[in-house]
Amino acid sequence: MSILQFNIRPWAVFDANNKLHRKWYGDFVKHNTWGKCPYRFIITDLQGDLITMIQKKLVEYYVRKEFKNTLKS
């Protein structure tokens, strides 16, 4: 195994319910880099790119949170 393998950030699926994942995306938006993020997020849907996928998940998360009593599941 290469020594480079020890410093690779682990893969993760972005979870909008995870406060740390939302924080790391916020840092990305602020600094325009994933440089300090401890994860490498992966694309889970076949459409778009990573940022589009994360934005879509965040919109769904915040809409559900704001309208939780009025939306059907």
Domain that includes residue 35, residue range: 3-66
Q: Is residue 71 part of a domain?
A: no
Q: Is residue 23 part of a domain?
A: yes
Q: Is residue 21 part of a domain?
A: yes
Question: What would the pLDDT profile of 9-63 be if each residue is shown by its tens digit?
Answer: 899 999 999 999 999 999 999 999 999 999 999 998 887 899 999 999 999 999 9
48 Ramachandran zone, left/alpha/beta (phi>0; psi -120 to 50): left
Higher model confidence: residue 46 or residue 65? 65
| 3-10: Cβ within 8 A, 24+ apart | 8/40, 9/37, 9/38, 9/39, 9/40, 10/38, 10/39, 10/40
pTM of the full structure: 0.81
Q: Is residue 73 part of a domain?
A: no
Residue 48: per-residue pLDDT: 80
Q: Is residue 72 part of a domain?
A: no
Q: Is residue 33 part of a domain?
A: yes
- Three-state DSSP state, 11: strand
Q: Is residue 57 part of a domain?
A: yes
**Residues ≥6 apart with Cβ < 8 Å to 71:** 63, 64
Domains identified in the chain, total number: 1
